[in-house]
Structure 1
Amino acid sequence: MIITGLITGAALGFILQRGRFCITGAFRDLWVSRSSFWLTAFLIAIAVQAVGVFALTLTGSIAPEAPQLSVVATVVGSLLFGVGIVLAGGCATGTYYRAGEGLVGSWFALIAYALAAAAAKTGILAGPSRWVKGLWTTELTTIPATLHLPQWVGVAALAVGVALLARRQLRLTAARGPQFSLPARRTGLSHLLLEKRWNPMATGAIVGIVAAAAWPLSWATGREDGLGITTPSANLVGVIVTGDTSRFDWGVLLVLGILMGSFIAAKASGEFRVRVPDATIIIRSILGGLLMGIGAAWAGGCSIGNALVQTSLLSWQGWVALVFQVLGVGAAAWVLLIRPRQKRRAARAARAEATDASAPSPALEAAPA
């Protein structure tokens, strides 16, 4: 049954690669371009999964439980993770699918991420991780439970709110008019799957469907969880290093499937190409991967386990993590992208002003000798 993990991962990797579904980009756009378009697509994935998980829970197929909120671990870990995904150039799934596209920087980030996660969960950094998680623990689980509301009310509120956001984004997109696109070179299903630009909102909905389907598929193997990247990545390291095959579960096949699916998508669409960055980018990618692994281990999840899955359960951990991941991305974007861009603009303006000041006056040029 665990083979369904590989199939689910391959489907997810294909969807992420072809849909260019980048959670890091969604968070970064809020700060760099003041755009919430991709964030809305991500929220659609959360809402669709929330509805699906609630329905599956009603049928008795699954019985997910939200974790208790550990405040310091979730906040600090999510901030570190947010900074890390900017340095690495991709979140947990983004790093996997870009590695499948041939980005060597993502290969380094992925290795660092998996090693750091393994060290923080079961290795040399497990002790500090337990200490951080114990600093400020609460009994908070889900937001509806805290507000003494039934779960369906929270799910309905999330679905309606996201639907209104999506409607607003679609109206803004329609007002901009049609986007330029190159002439099609493929036809039929090949064009739709491998060439045509995927609608981000539709991609978000498909990701949400896959995320919801992952619950019963994973549950059937004894792994009582949905999509997850950090723990499976750490388990993969454990299998390779120790030979402990008990860690080789549905989740490990899931992450391997993401890598495989993105490679298939990139290869079939002609987008696969091995791209080797300079040393600075490689070092930055490794540092980002380390922060991602440690941050996700502390926070109890990454951009998938927390920001996509736990949010669909309406857990405090998921939504607090989502907020602080966005803030971490904003801090890193300010240092690495926004502030340098402002300095370049100021320098260009200063040079232009100096050029204007040194130019001869037209009146002087016209004066007789």
Structure 2
Amino acid sequence: MLLTGLGLGLALGFTMQRGRFCVTGAFRDLWITGSTRWLTAFLIVVAVQSVGVFALDAAGVITLDPQPFAWLATILGAFIFGFAIVLAGGCATGTYYRAGEGLVGSWFALIFYALFSAMSKTGALAGPVAALRGVTVPASTIHGFLGVSPWPLVAILVTGVGLLARHHLRLRSPLPMASLPARSTGLRHLLFEKKWGAFTTALIIAALAILAWPLSWATGRESGLGITGPSSAIVNYLVQGDAEVIDWGVYLVLGILIGAFIAAKGSGEFRIRIPDALTTVRSIGGGALMGVGASLAGGCTIGNAMVNTATFGFQGWVSLLFMIIGTGAATRLFITGSARVGTSPALVPANR
């Protein structure tokens, strides 16, 4: 059953690479251009997944078990994480799939993200992180706090996101876009050449996110998609050799890396790209801060902002807000504030 994590990870990495699904870009665009197109795509994943996860819970396939809300650690960690993803040039999954494309800067970011995740969960930083996460309030979910069924909230979310999506679809230019002649036909053309739309990509990711719940649950890992914990587990396995830490989530993140490589190789987008010294330093620093921030917040842009939001957890929605604020602070400091002197390519995720 653990191999289902690898299979789902392959599909997720392939989809994110081909769709250029960059959460960092979605957050950054709010501050640079005011565009909400990619944020809307991200929210489509949340809304569709929310329908699926509460349906699975109602059917008894999974049982959602909300935990106390570590409000202080979530706010601090989410801000740090949002700031860090601009430095690293991508969030957790973005770093995985860009590493699969051959970006050496993302290799550095990924290594230090995993390393500092492990340090924050089980190593030298575990004590301070645990102390901050120990500052909690009983309220854990929005519907639990309000004392209502989650389904009205699901309906509101789906309706709101649907209206946003319709708005962006209406803004699409009716004029055909110029493109190179297709080099192949059939399935290969569809998978490796044809441009994947933001909203189509979001729907595929949402379906995979829903599927992750029962597949992960069947192995004893009672959660959906998650990146930080599995990344930390890989480091712990390499250092301690404890095979028990290798769970469904570890296979998932390895699958993301391999799936992105297959997609990049098949589409001709794979190549080794070596960053300059400044980009390397920023990638390392961004990766390290990502690991600390995600551990403090209890998850990254996937585990918190995409998955915990779908279950209407306070941790997820507060994380999403402060990740966006953190991204805005770093964007102002490193991108828009440095526009007159130039910007490092690693700070501008290529999701377009």
C-alpha separation in 2, matches of 1:147 and 1:13: 37
Task: Say if 1:232 and 1:251, in contact at 8 Å, map to a contact too.
Answer: yes
The CA deviation at 1:278 is 0.6
Partner of 2:170: 171
Partner of 1:105: 105
* Secondary structure in structure 1 of the residue aligned to 2:299: coil
C-alpha separation in 1, matches of 2:199 and 2:107: 28
* Secondary structure in structure 2 of the residue aligned to 1:312: coil
After superposition, give the CA deviation of every residue in 1:139-178 in whole Å (9 maximum; x if it has no partner): 1111112122211111111111110110011111246x43
C-alpha separation in 2, matches of 1:70 and 1:104: 35
After superposition, give the CA deviation of every residue in 1:82-111 in whole Å (9 maximum; x if it has no partner): 011100000000000000000000000000
Partner of 1:285: 283
C-alpha separation in 1, matches of 2:268 and 2:341: 37
Q: What RMSD over aligned residues (CA atoms) do the two structures have, in Å?
A: 1.1
Partner of 1:87: 87
Q: How many residues align structurally?
A: 342
Matched, 1:227 2:225: yes
Identify the range of structure 1 (185-194 vs 109-118) with the bigger mean alpha-carbon deviation: 185-194
Matched, 1:120 2:115: no
C-alpha separation in 1, matches of 2:4 and 2:102: 25
Identify the range of structure 1 (97-106 vs 67-76) with the bigger mean alpha-carbon deviation: 67-76
Amino acid across the alignment from 1:247: V
The TM-score normalised by the length of structure 1 is 0.91
The residue correspondences of 1:100-249 to structure 2 (distance < 5 A) are 100-135=100-135, 137-174=136-173, 177-249=175-247
Task: Say if 1:79 and 1:327, in contact at 8 Å, map to a contact too.
Answer: yes
Amino acid across the alignment from 1:35: S
The TM-score normalised by the length of structure 2 is 0.95
* Secondary structure in structure 1 of the residue aligned to 2:339: helix
C-alpha separation in 2, matches of 1:134 and 1:223: 23
C-alpha separation in 2, matches of 1:187 and 1:332: 43
C-alpha separation in 1, matches of 2:249 and 2:21: 20
Higher helix proportion, which one?
1
Amino acid across the alignment from 1:45: V
Task: Say if 1:66 and 1:310, in contact at 8 Å, map to a contact too.
Answer: no
After superposition, give the CA deviation of every residue in 1:175-226 in whole Å (9 maximum; x if it has no partner): 6x43332222221111111011101001011101100000000000000000
Unaligned runs of 5+ in 1: 345-369
* Runs of 4 or more consecutive aligned structure 1 residues displaced over 4 Å after TM superposition: none
The residue correspondences of 1:47-58 to structure 2 (distance < 5 A) are 47-58=47-58
C-alpha separation in 2, matches of 1:69 and 1:173: 40
After superposition, give the CA deviation of every residue in 1:33-63 in whole Å (9 maximum; x if it has no partner): 1110000000001111111111111111111
Task: Say if 1:67 and 1:317, in contact at 8 Å, map to a contact too.
Answer: no
C-alpha separation in 2, matches of 1:118 and 1:167: 42
Matched residues, percent identical?
A: 58
Amino acid across the alignment from 1:326: I
Amino acid across the alignment from 1:5: G
C-alpha separation in 1, matches of 2:282 and 2:178: 34
User: CA 1:310/1:247 → structure 2, altered by over 3 Å: closer, same or farther?
Assistant: same
Amino acid across the alignment from 2:190: L
Amino acid across the alignment from 2:222: E
Task: Say if 1:116 and 1:294, in contact at 8 Å, map to a contact too.
Answer: yes
Q: Larger Cα Rg: Structure 1 or Structure 2?
A: 1
The CA deviation at 1:341 is 1.7
C-alpha separation in 2, matches of 1:108 and 1:198: 28
Partner of 1:265: 263
The residue correspondences of 1:211-360 to structure 2 (distance < 5 A) are 211-341=209-339
Task: Say if 1:144 and 1:151, in contact at 8 Å, map to a contact too.
Answer: yes
Amino acid across the alignment from 2:215: L
C-alpha separation in 2, matches of 1:225 and 1:105: 30
Identify the range of structure 1 (62-71 vs 112-121) with the bigger mean alpha-carbon deviation: 62-71
Task: Say if 1:12 and 1:261, in contact at 8 Å, map to a contact too.
Answer: yes
The CA deviation at 1:65 is 2.1
C-alpha separation in 2, matches of 1:139 and 1:148: 13
Task: Say if 1:143 and 1:316, in contact at 8 Å, map to a contact too.
Answer: yes
